[in-house]
A and B are shown apart, each in its own frame.
Chain A
Amino acid sequence: DQQVKQNSPSLSVQEGRISILNCDYTNSMFDYFLWYKKYPAEGPTFLISISSIKDKNEDGRFTVFLNKSAKHLSLHIVPSQPGDSAVYFCAASRWNSGGSNYKLTFGKGTLLTVNP
Chain B
Amino acid sequence: NAGVTQTPKFQVLKTGQSMTLQCAQDMNHNSMYWYRQDPGMGLRLIYYSASEGTTDKGEVPNGYNVSRLNKREFSLRLESAAPSQTSVYFCASRIRGDTQYFGPGTRLTVL
Chain A contact residues, CB within 8 Å of chain B: 4, 6, 9, 32, 34, 36, 41-46, 49, 89, 93, 96, 100-109
Q: A109 to chain B: which residues have CB within 8 Å?
A: 42
Task: Assign chain B's interface to a size class.
Answer: 20 to 34
Chain A residue nearest to B4 (CB atoms) is: A43
Q: B102 to chain A: which residues have CB within 8 Å?
A: 36, 43-45
Q: A34 to chain B: which residues have CB within 8 Å?
A: 98-99
CB contact under 8 A between A44 and B98, given known A89-B42, A101-B48, A101-B50 = no
Number of A-B residue pairs having CB atoms within 8 Å of each other in the complex: 59
Give complex CA distance A9, B41 in Å: 11
Chain B residue nearest to A92 (CB atoms) is: B98
Chain B contact residues, CB within 8 Å of chain A: 4, 31, 33, 35, 40-45, 48, 50, 54, 56, 58, 90, 92, 94, 98-105
Give complex CA distance A57, B98 in Å: 15
Q: Are B99 and A103 in contact (CB under 8 A)?
A: no
